[in-house]
Amino acid sequence: MSPRPDRAAEDGFTVVEVLVAFAIAAIGTLLALQIAGETGASLRRVAGLRAEAAEAEGICLRRLADGPLQPGLAEGRFTDGRPWTLAVSDARGALPARNGPPLWRLRLTRGGPSGPAIYTTLVPARPDA
Q: Is residue 61 part of a domain?
A: yes
What does the pLDDT read at residue 112?
84
Q: Is residue 129 part of a domain?
A: no
Which residues in the chain come in under a pLDDT of 70? Answer: 1-10, 98, 127-129
Residue 9 has a CB neighbour count (10 Å cut-off) of: 7
What does the pLDDT read at residue 54?
93
What does the pLDDT read at residue 95?
75
CB 60 within 8 A of CB 76: no
What does the pLDDT read at residue 74?
93
What does the pLDDT read at residue 113?
85
What does the pLDDT read at residue 22?
95
Segment 19-49, tens digit of pLDDT? 999 999 999 999 999 999 999 999 999 998 8
Q: Is residue 7 part of a domain?
A: no
Q: Is residue 90 part of a domain?
A: yes
Q: Is residue 3 part of a domain?
A: no
DSSP string, the chain: -PPPPPGGGGSS--HHHHHHHHHHHHHHHHHHHHHHHHHHHHHHHHHHHHHHHHHHHHHHHHHHHTSS--SEEEEEE-TTS-EEEEEEEEGGGGSS---SS-EEEEEEEESSTTS-EEEEEEEEPPTT-
Domain range for 106 is 12-124
Q: Is residue 66 part of a domain?
A: yes
pTM for this entry: 0.66
Number of domains in the chain: 1
Q: Is residue 5 part of a domain?
A: no
Q: Is residue 65 part of a domain?
A: yes
